[in-house]
Structure 1
Amino acid sequence: MRAITTLIITVALTGCLAASPPVPAPDTFVPNCGQDRFRGLVGQDAAILRELDLPGTTRVVKPGMALTQDYRPDRLNISIDEDGLINRVWCS
């Protein structure tokens, strides 16, 4: 009988213990493609891209071009509009 009482008290008190808050997961998808170095290209003619040493994972996006939806934080994307001007630089 004493063992059962001890067990019931132990179970009851266990429910009173405060659970530690969950630790947030580290942000593993922080863009790291070097976009900040190339933001100054926005508004310039796309021909300038031939003179630059772009990262190997760079994707130049032209109007109407189909893109994959996979996310790669190391991939630099440079979008060119219909007039041949760079209109966006971003990581994905």
Structure 2
Amino acid sequence: MTRMILLGAMALAACAQTPPPAEEPPVTNDNAGVACNADGLTDLVGQPAGADLGATALERSGARTLRWIQPNTAVTMDFRVDRLNIMLDDKNVVTSFTCG
């Protein structure tokens, strides 16, 4: 008897409709109008890394975010038009700037 009730409940559950998939939010570009430009930062190459240098580079590049990259450090490969990458050597001296 218990078996029949369980089988009946399972059969009814199998007949239930699945809910429609949730609507995905529209894709927006939160970075519209914000683009990094590292071309004017060459005079900062050779400087020691620090908060002041980071703030200056961020302001002059027009980027919103900053990422310090030390040698042999793993970084994500996602491209962000609003991010400035500052490459450092093993003594925390700036070697180059890139955007992305």
TM-score (ref. length: structure 2): 0.50
RMSD of Structure 2 on Structure 1 (CA): 2.4
Partner SS state of residue 58, structure 1: strand
Partner SS state of residue 43, structure 2: helix
Partner of 1:46: 49
Q: Does the 8 Å contact 2:54/2:66 carry over to 1?
A: no
Partner SS state of residue 72, structure 2: coil
Structure-1 separation of matches of 2:97 and 2:83: 11
For structure 1, the 5+ residue unaligned runs are 1-31
Partner of 1:83: 91
Aligned partner letter, 1:76: L
Structure-2 separation of matches of 1:73 and 1:38: 16
1:53–1:76 distance in 2 versus 1, CA, 3 Å: closer
The Cα of 1:51 is off from its aligned counterpart by 5.8
78-87 vs 58-67, greater mean Cα deviation = 58-67
The count of residues paired between Structure 1 and Structure 2 equals 62
The Cα of 1:84 is off from its aligned counterpart by 1.7
The Cα of 1:64 is off from its aligned counterpart by 2.1
1:72–1:50 distance in 2 versus 1, CA, 3 Å: closer
Partner SS state of residue 66, structure 1: coil
TM-score (ref. length: structure 1): 0.54
Runs of 4+ in 1 over 6 A off after TM superposition: none
Structure-1 separation of matches of 2:66 and 2:55: 14
Q: Where do 1:20-35 residues align within 5 Å? A: 32-35=35-38
2:69 matches 1:61: yes
Bigger relative contact order (CA 8 A; separation at least 6): 1
Percent identical residues: 38
